[in-house]
Amino acid sequence: MKSVNFQLDENNSLEITQVEDNLFEVRLGINGSMSIYYMTRDQLLDVEQLGGHIRIETFFPPGF
């Protein structure tokens, strides 16, 4: 199982864990509140679903 964790600042974090080949668990912590999403790779790459302004795929190494 592969996982990437970003501590964005003191109160905000993003953790992405690959559960299956095309299924990811996304834990998004914003201002002390945690949300958990299960997303396909295509959904995950559409970062606007999470309300973000960064391109998540730039953090994935080839083969992730």
User: Tens digit of pLDDT for each residue in 44-63?
Assistant: 877 666 655 555 545 555 55
The pLDDT tens digits of the residues spanning 1-49 come to 788 888 888 888 889 999 999 999 999 888 888 889 899 888 887 766 6
CA 40, CA 30: separation in Å to the nearest integer? Answer: 22
| Dist. CA 19–CA 39, nearest whole Å | 10
DSSP string, the chain: --EEEEE-SSS-EEEEEEEETTEEEEEEEETTEEEEEEEEHHHHH-GGGGT-SS-GGGGPPTT-
Confidence (pTM): 0.68
